[in-house]
Each structure stands twice: as C-alpha cells, then as structure tokens.
Amino acid sequence: MIARTASTALVAAGTLFGALSLSPALAQQGGDAILGFWKTPHGATVEVVPCATGICGDIVEMDAQDGVPGPQVRDVNHPNPDRRDRKLLGTRIMRKVVKTGPNEWKGRAYHPKHGLRMAPTITLVGDGRMKLTACLKKAPSICQDEYWQRVNGS
C-alpha cells in the first residue's frame, strides 16, 4: 500500500512538473490562445502546438478532394517537383509563429492549395475564428485574408 501511494505521488509530481515546465514556454511565446485544432477553408484540420521554433501547425486531418480520400491527398502544388507526391496529412504548414501584440502573431506558413510560402499575420477575431493575412513578397500591396474556425473548445 505504501509503495502504491509513493508511486502515485511520483506520477502526480512528474505530471505537475511537466505542466509547470511547459507553462513558462507558452507564457514567453504568448501563443496559448491560438493553440488547438483549426479547420481551414480548404478542408484541412491543423493542430497548432508549441514547438522548438515557437508555435507550429501540422495538418492532422484532410477532407477528400476531387475524389481522393483525405489521407491520400498529395501536395500537388508544391514548388519543388520532388515534393508533389508527398501526402499533406502530417505536413507542417506553420512554423516560427511568435506573439507580436494583443491577439496577434506572426510567423511562416506554407499554403498547399497555392504552393506558396508566406509570412502571415495571425489575428484572433472572435467567434472562434483566426484570421491569417498574407501579402505577396513581390507585390506587397496584394494581400489575402483566410479565416480558420476553431474545432475544439480549447
């Protein structure tokens, strides 16, 4: 009985230590408000998580596209022809995202539908939505907004 109690206490302490050690990283990044699952208008679900470079986002689910089941959808628009056969499921499409102001972040993103790398501004706009605004490098006056919808309540 004492061994089980000590073991339970160690597990609880380890869990608490893990949670506490993650909290300062999130506080420093200021990104905890954008963490969670987000549905893009192009049929992907992206999980936004803390990572070594700040905040990152990975495609964790894909809707079927043009008759191709979601898990089999390929990155056909990638600028590198060698990557056009890779599956989008599991692809990291956001990285180096850092907080830049109240409800605002900046980072790097890859847009599979257009095969473009961008540096969007990310803003929480309410109603469980996130707005990504990206401008073309070669034509900075040409910008586009895209809205993602939060999937979970986290």
What's the pLDDT tens digit per position in 131-151? 999 987 777 788 899 999 999
| SS3 category, 119 | coil
Phi, psi of 62 (to 5 degrees): -130, 140
| pLDDT value, residue 31 | 55
| pLDDT value, residue 140 | 79
Tell me the average pLDDT across 6-31: 37
How far apart (Å, rounded) are the C-alpha atoms in residues 9 and 58? 34
| pLDDT value, residue 46 | 97
| SS3 category, 82 | helix
What's the pLDDT tens digit per position in 59-102? 999 999 989 999 999 999 999 999 999 999 999 999 999 999 99
Tell me the average pLDDT across 22-34: 52
Token look-up 């499921």 returns: 89
Return the H-helix or E-strand segment holding 6.
Answer: helix 2-29
pLDDT beyond 90 at 12? no
The amino acid sitting at 103 is N
What's the pLDDT tens digit per position in 34-63? 999 999 999 999 999 999 999 999 999 999
Tokens of 85: 């056969």
